[in-house]
């Protein structure tokens, strides 16, 4: 139990120092089978303090919380740490959703590593 508290404390510290607002946009496309017309609905929600992980911070975080594997990122990919407590109830983050930064930059979520205490999103611009 003390390990979980330690990990939550590390995540809290990272959020306070490096966290930024992140909007998640979900696109739902429906096709009317009678007419063939396509309708697209958008749903969005905010993650108040998501932590973009630069390589040096990423390595330190993984080592601190005991994650031994380090996935290789392709050019243009980044990782974002999200505290599961920051995800609104009833909302899911899925592959192909969009991550929108406060700068206006939009990236596609290409992979999700789901842990007990947090999620690490791999995004590609």
CATH of the domain at 41: 2.40.10.270
Alpha carbons 124 and 109: distance in angstroms, whole number: 7
Alpha carbons 61 and 55: distance in angstroms, whole number: 10
Residue 38 pLDDT level (bands cut at 50, 70, 90):
confident
Structural domain range at position 116:
2-124
Strand 118-124, strand 38-53: pairing: unpaired
Highest mean pLDDT among 40-44, 65-69, 81-85: 81-85
Q: Looking at the 3D structure of the chain, how many domains does it have?
A: 1
Q: Say what the pLDDT of residue 2 is.
A: 75
With a threshold of 0.85, does the pTM exceed it? Answer: no
Coil, helix or strand at residue 22: strand
Q: Say what the pLDDT of residue 50 is.
A: 94
Q: Say what the pLDDT of residue 46 is.
A: 94
């Amino acid at each position: 139990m003390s390990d979980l508290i330690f990990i939550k404390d590390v995540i809290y510290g990272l959020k306070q120092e490096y966290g930024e607002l992140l909007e998640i946009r979900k696109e739902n496309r429906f096709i009317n089978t009678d007419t063939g017309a396509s309708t697209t609905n958008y749903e969005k929600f905010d993650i108040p303090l998501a932590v973009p992980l630069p390589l040096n911070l990423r390595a330190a975080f993984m080592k601190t919380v005991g994650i031994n594997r380090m996935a290789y990122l392709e050019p243009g990919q980044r990782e974002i740490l999200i505290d599961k407590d920051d995800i609104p109830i009833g909302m899911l983050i899925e592959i192909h959703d969009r991550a929108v930064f406060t700068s206006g930059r939009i990236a596609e979520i290409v992979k999700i590593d789901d842990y007990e205490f947090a999620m690490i999103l791999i995004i590609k611009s």
